[in-house]
Amino acid sequence: MIKISIKEFAQKYVKSNPDENIKDVISRLKDAVKRKNAGAICDICGKSIWAVGSAIAGFDGCFTCITGEHDDSEDYEVF
């Protein structure tokens, strides 16, 4: 995963999704990071959640369960 700040990811995300409100995106990302740091697990498989995906998808999920992919080397994760 490529580490990225919450603010930087939110700006990139809103640029690609102009109907989204940046304050809402930042809030969802912060909440997801808090859940991840508290030990939240994927609702489907029980692995650690992917904060970016969980904030966007609207449920606590790992990278694979959210995307259906296994290679996360080119995807972002916030800190």
What is the per-residue pLDDT across 12-66, written as a single tens digit (0 to 9) for each? 999 999 999 999 999 999 999 999 999 999 999 999 999 999 999 999 999 999 9
Phi and psi at 44, nearest 5°, equal -100, -50
- What is the count of structural domains for the chain? 1
Output the furthest CA–CA distance in the chain (Å, rounded).
33
**What are residue 4's DSSP bridge partners?**
78
Domain that holds residue 61: 2-78
Cβ(52)–Cβ(5) below 8 Å: no
The per-residue pLDDT for 79 is: 85
Whole-prediction pTM: 0.92
Cβ(6)–Cβ(28) below 8 Å: no
